[in-house]
Amino acid sequence: MLNTVSRVDNDSAAFDAGIIPGDTLLEINGRPIADVLDYMYYSYDADPSFLIQHKDGSREIIELLKDEGEDAGLEFEEYLMDSPRACANNCIFCFVDQLPPGMRETLYFKDDDVRLSFLTGSYVTLTNMSERAIQRVIDLKISPINISVHTMDPDLRCMMLGNKNAGRGIEAIRRFADAGIEMNCQIVCCPGINDGEELLRTMEQLSALYPSMHSVSVIPVGLTGHRQGLYPLTPFSKDGAIQTVHLVEKQSEIYLKKYGSRIFFCSDELYLKASLPIPDEDFYEGYPQLENGVGLIRLLISEFQDALDMVSGPASGTPFSIATGVAAASTIKQLLDTATSRFPEIDGRVYPIVNDFFGHSVDVAGLITGRDLITQLKGRDLGRRVYITNRMLRDGGGIFLDDITLDEVTSELGVPVIPIENDGGVLLDAMMD
């Protein structure tokens, strides 16, 4: 059973109460437990009672002695205590549909699970939620959740998501707002479809849901070189990116004066496509959309400068290289130049990696593959080590998206390839060795 206990923390109320791996959790305080959200919500109380079924089939009510909010200490055979909900959409811009064939099967799975949105920050469309599921979000006060909105026009949303039920998600968004559920949303902006006046209408309707509508990111559609047979989409031109950034910034200034928050933020990618300067740190209001690529560059620059102001040096002078995506290469080069002006002994170079695997229109560092690193760096002057962002590696492990391992890349290049966090201070430490 998916709600069978796989592990019990030794220093926990569940361990003290005698619950062991192999036991199955059936109820908490008389309420049936369907999944991890039920477990988290009902175990929040002080001194809850757990109905446990043991391996031999016998059942026992076990009282836990714990404070309110204290973790009970159980892990389960399936993280969700249930199967993840698969996406029922056929979005015209879906990135998974644009993956090349032959990759690992798990990379093609598309989830659309509100539980994962709450627990891991993934984005959901709400199209596969029943009335009971929507009401449970409200009853359990599941917040915050991340929602892919794209448009507030029901007919257009049905078209963009390829799902006749997609319009119902708009009503769910409004119900969540009325219930005080905090939402962070995203708009994948497709030129000629939901940009311009349509984007403006969407912003106006979403802003009316503030403060429940906590933040919204506006992201340019990502198109790979593997779109055969898919809906014809146009990438953002420089002029289109400029117009979109100016529209969002102008409108968000209105909301800043009205609500005290901009609510809407363009992704770094839009600023780069528009060749516009990245806004200052105060602009991002604490970076609510950082994981969606909003403010990553500004935060990196700020962290780097703060670290540079504190470091005394000297640097080691050991030669090194940094491999990154085309989009971020100029920023990394500027940071390297800044560090070198302070510490001339720093000996580094930056290599922008063109994405041959997904297509040249994909220019972010996180989607660079091991094969592209090998092909484009082999035989180059790499120094004694090569730094990459750890976002290139899947799930923090040692494997790139094309299943090439970090060890294989290191072997092919003949120098250590070292993944580092996307942190300005860590980057400066790497440069100074």
We report the CATH number of the domain holding residue 162 as 3.80.30.10
Supply the pLDDT for residue 415.
97
pTM higher than 0.75, yes or no? yes
Do both 248 and 316 map to the same domain?
no
Confidence band for 104, pLDDT divided at 50, 70 and 90:
confident
Domain-located, residue 86: no
Do both 340 and 205 map to the same domain?
no
Do both 57 and 146 map to the same domain?
no
Given 273, 293, 313, which residue is the final one in a domain?
293
- pLDDT higher than 80, residue 397: no
Tell me the pLDDT tens digit for each residue of 36-71.
Answer: 888 988 999 999 999 999 999 999 999 999 999 999
Supply the pLDDT for residue 116.
74
Supply the pLDDT for residue 88.
85
Supply the pLDDT for residue 109.
78
- Closest Cα partner for 126 from 156, 143, 147, 151? 147
Domain-located, residue 64: yes
Do both 72 and 162 map to the same domain?
no
CA angle 184, 188, 192 (to 5 degrees): 140
Dihedral angle computed from the Cα positions of residues 362, 363, 368 and 373, in that order, rounded to the nearest 10 degrees: 120
Do both 193 and 260 map to the same domain?
yes
Mean of all residue pLDDT scores within the chain: 93
Q: Do residues 210 and 263 touch, judged by C-beta distance below 8 A? A: yes
List the CATH number of the domain containing 18.
2.30.42.60
Do both 140 and 242 map to the same domain?
yes
pLDDT average, residue stretch 137-161: 94
Domain-located, residue 46: yes
Given 293, 312, 337, which residue is the final one in a domain?
293
Of the chain, the percentage scoring pLDDT greater than 70 comes to 99
Domain-located, residue 87: no
Q: Which domain holds residue 422?
A: 300-432
- pLDDT higher than 90, residue 106: no
Confidence band for 1, pLDDT divided at 50, 70 and 90:
low
Do both 100 and 242 map to the same domain?
yes
Do both 133 and 191 map to the same domain?
yes
Given 293, 322, 339, which residue is the final one in a domain?
293
Rounded to 5 degrees, φ, ψ at 70 are -75, 135
- Which residues face 323 on adjacent strands? 351
Instruction: Provide the residue type at 255 as one letter.
Output: Y
Residues 6+ apart with CB under 8 A from 21: 5, 6, 7, 8
Confidence band for 332, pLDDT divided at 50, 70 and 90:
very high
Total domains present in the chain? 3
Do both 329 and 423 map to the same domain?
yes
Domain-located, residue 88: no
Buried b (16+ CB within 10 A) or exposed e, 237-251: eeebbbbbbebbbeb
Domain-located, residue 261: yes
Tell me the pLDDT tens digit for each residue of 180-213.
Answer: 999 999 999 999 999 999 999 999 999 999 999 9
Do both 134 and 205 map to the same domain?
yes
Supply the pLDDT for residue 396.
61
Do both 260 and 217 map to the same domain?
yes
Do both 19 and 102 map to the same domain?
no
- Exposure of 59 by Cβ count < 10 A (0-12 exposed, 13-18 middle, 19+ buried)? exposed
Confidence band for 234, pLDDT divided at 50, 70 and 90:
very high
Residues 6+ apart with CB under 8 A from 18: 62
The dihedral through the CA atoms of 420, 421, 424, 425 has a sign that is: negative
Domain-located, residue 81: no
pLDDT average, residue stretch 310-315: 86
Domain-located, residue 82: no
Q: Given the structure tokens 């302070």, which residue do they identify?
A: 342
Tell me the pLDDT tens digit for each residue of 126-147.
Answer: 998 889 889 989 988 889 999 9
- C-alpha distances (whole Å) from 11 to each of 8, 71, 291 are 9, 10, 32
Dihedral angle computed from the Cα positions of residues 198, 199, 202 and 207, in that order, rounded to the nearest 10 degrees: -150
